[in-house]
Amino acid sequence: MRTIAIFNHKGGVGKTTTVSTMADILAIDYGKRVLVIDADPQGNLSMFYGVEPDEGNSTLDLFMGTHEPVYSDWISSARTDAPVDIIPSDTALVQAEAAALKEDARFNRHAMSDLFRAIREDADAPDADNRQSAYDYVLIDCSPAFSQVSLAALRDADDIIVPITTDLFSTMGMATVLKQIMRARKDGLNSVAGVLVNKYQRVEDPNGLLTYLRNQKAVPTFETVIRKSKKVVSAGADGVPLIKFSPRCAAARDYRAFVAEYMAKKGDRNGKA
Ligand SMILES: Nc1ncnc2c1ncn2[C@@H]1O[C@H](COP(=O)(O)OP(=O)(O)OP(=O)(O)O)[C@@H](O)[C@H]1O
Ligand SMILES: [Mg+2]
């Protein structure tokens, strides 16, 4: 199982789009078992997958220790056209943030790693019923903030993917993102799988920021860039996986190439992660 946090403190760069599209490609094209975690009180990922948190099944419950660590209680199946499971969120997740700031003992800073351990233990259990709950990939959609929940995801995930757009402010913000990741992780920037350029339009990159990103040595930038495509907005509004909504659009093709690049980088030759 590989766990991946998708993070940038800049808003609107495509974190949620990357989580859902990557999850859908892994599940639909590769038959991987995928869990997504909505770690953003905006709840955009949950809206996309059409899942509202019920009492007891949300990321808030995960962090506030509402349950014994029986992770299957938290997990809902997303809509049927994408075989992806989800731990949903809504605005109530801000309560976790408030609790963390008040140093309320109920806030479990290790909720993510506890969950990952529980999933791994369950997958290893000899009981056949439990085995089907093993996941190949867990993708975490972070909020555009250095929240305590984001920090927990950044600290505990195996990999971090940083979506970015090639406008000047977004690129300037990258140094801050990397600094925060350094603070959150013991292994510094080693876990950054890569910076993923999104909404790319050659004509809109007059400052050559793509070249800058590729030349800087602090963190890798994925070879694949995701081109800007109106279909992404429409697929998101309809709650349909992009690869089903418009399989041939530039962004769908780019996301498929990106997932292939990511898997090759991580040595997943379509076997178990
Ligand atoms: N490649 C793309 N082409 C065109 N539009 C895109 C692309 N990627 C994302 N978008 C659109 O940009 C908007 C923001 O994307 P998204 O919600 O994924 O960003 P985010 O980083 O998760 O935002 P937030 O920081 O608010 O959580 C959405 O309307 C989405 O449909
Ligand atoms: Mg988002």
Q: How does strand 2-6 pair with strand 34-39?
A: unpaired
Q: What is the pLDDT of residues 60-108, one digit of tens each?
A: 999 997 655 555 555 666 665 678 899 999 999 999 999 999 999 999 9
Q: Is the CB of 9 under 6 A from ligand 1?
A: no
Return all residues near 168 (Cβ < 8 A) that are at least 6 apart. 207, 209
Closest CA to 110 of 162, 64, 163, 48: 64
Nearest 5°: the CA angle 201, 202, 205 is 95
- Determine the atom of ligand 1 nearest the C-alpha atom of 233: 31
Atom 3, ligand 1: which residue's CA is nearest?
228
Domains and CATH numbers, the chain: 2-265 (3.40.50.300)
Q: Is the CB of 89 under 6 A from ligand 1?
A: no
Instruction: Characterise 2 by phi-psi region: left (phi > 0), alpha (psi -120 to 50), beta (else).
Output: beta
- CA distance linking residue 44 with residue 50, whole number of Å: 10
pTM of the model: 0.94
CA of 184 relative to ligand 2 center, distance in Å: 20
Q: Is the CB of 228 under 6 A from ligand 1?
A: yes
Q: Is the CB of 233 under 6 A from ligand 1?
A: yes
Atom 9, ligand 1: which residue's CA is nearest?
14
What percentage of the chain reaches a pLDDT higher than 90? Answer: 66
Q: What is the pLDDT of residues 12-44, one digit of tens each?
A: 999 999 999 999 999 999 999 999 999 999 999
Please give the pLDDT value at position 80.
59
The chain-wide mean pLDDT, for the chain, equals 88
Please determine, for residue 131, whether its predicted confidence score (pLDDT) is greater than 70.
no
What percentage of the chain reaches a pLDDT higher than 70? Answer: 89
Please give the pLDDT value at position 66.
66
